[in-house]
Amino acid sequence: MYICHILYSIKEMVSIKNMILRKEYIEHIKPFIGKPAIKVLMGQRRVGKSYILLQLMQEIKLQNPDANIIFIDKELDKFSHIQDNKELYTYIDAQLQTSNNYLFIDEVQEIRSFELCLRSLLNEGKCDIFCTGSNANLLSGELATHLAGRYVAFEIHSLSYVEFLEFNRLENTNVSLNQYLTMGGMPFLPHFSTDKEAAFEYLNNVYSSILLRDVVARENIRNVSFLENLVSYLSDNIGNIISAHNISKYLKSQQINLTPQTVLNYLHSLCNAFFVYRIPRADVVGLKIFEVGEKYYFEDIGIRNSLRTFNLRKDINKLMENAVCLHLMRLKYRVFVGKIDDKEIDFIAEKNGERRYIQVAYMLSEEATIEREFGNLMRIPDQYPKYVISMDEMSIGNYKGIKQMHLREFLSMTDL
């Protein structure tokens, strides 16, 4: 099967010449092509995992024109007959050539016991395997049980700010930044141009698909109404410390009785679908993790905004924090909410044994705000880099060793 024939089997796909290469992901995955390990692309539904699979197929064809590409998209009806590992193996076996086989499976979690088939194919050395999934249980359950140490996972996110500019052919201006903080980074959105109403309708449909297919159905959620209310609660409380106990207590005041454990289970289900991320709190000294209280941020800001009556000015602080958190995750930092004495540090970012400390504030126009944001960072005893991110056009620059920068500059950085 040639790559041009594959183009039309992925929903929302246009011709390959119109696809924008997501370079960082491709370059990160390329060294693993041909290696005896299953390549798993994980992330929320519709963040572009299918596009990246297609671009990997193109890369393989460019390097190896004789490659035999086997592609299975479980969102297409033509593959609906593949329900379990045995049917999967039968289909793949019929497509195999003597050598040079590359297998791509989109939304592999839709196939029961798929890991048994992949394990067999890997042991037999019959093909190089790539797959995508929209649920974190793949890594902690199915794959970990049967393929521990024999797969490598790549977390795929919605578009970064720099990718957003490229996809939408925009200049790096405050107008573009506000558009990003409003519409988010779902890769299909450029098709709606400036039609905000149509874009939000699309994002609402994506939200419904995630909730029903990746949360309710997969996690066997019974109280769908509460799940939707919980999402609404999280969207209102971006940047606030949240605990299952406090949510349960709040619900009781609304005459709804749900135990903290039930709330915790529902929060966990939303995280499993990569819909939101749980960011734990940690003590700055020693990075001790606190068991109670965390913050939740959305994978896509646009989906969050589509769920409510949206007002950028009113929500700007929340959206800035969400954007900063996502950017740190894209840069492959482990992210924590920091605590030092009775003060809070918005983010501790850790990678390769080093840390970065970040505070986020809309404007630094008042002395009290400057004292709070810079003062909290100055309490930290170590010498790792510290940043204050704001929307001020006139930068304070370097203030007592702490760098202040505009959000546009921060979101354009490829590392800290």
Domain boundaries, the chain: 3-155, 161-411
Asked if 181 and 304 touch (Cβ cutoff 8 Å), the reply is no
Residue 364: CB partners within 8 Å, gap ≥ 6? 370, 373, 388, 390, 392, 396, 404
Q: Which parts of 169-223 fold into alpha helices (H)? A: 174-183, 196-209, 218-219
Which one of 1.10.3470.10, 3.40.50.300, 3.40.50.150, 3.40.50.720 gives the CATH number of domain 3-155?
A: 3.40.50.300
Q: What's the Rg (C-alpha) of the chain?
A: 22
Residue closest to 387 by CA, chosen among 365, 413, 368: 413
265: which 2 tokens?
Answer: 């289970």
* Contacts with 377 (C-beta within 8 Å, 6 or more apart), sequence order: 345, 357, 359, 386, 388, 402
Q: pLDDT tens string for the chain (416 positions)?
A: 333 344 334 444 434 445 688 999 999 999 999 999 999 999 999 999 999 999 999 999 999 999 999 999 998 999 999 999 999 999 999 999 999 999 999 999 999 999 999 999 999 999 999 999 999 988 777 787 888 889 999 999 999 999 999 999 999 999 999 999 999 999 999 888 768 899 999 999 999 999 999 999 999 999 999 999 999 999 999 999 999 988 888 778 878 888 899 999 999 999 999 999 999 999 998 888 887 789 999 999 999 999 988 899 999 999 999 999 999 999 999 999 999 999 999 999 999 999 999 999 999 988 899 999 999 999 999 999 999 999 998 777 788 889 999 999 999 999 99
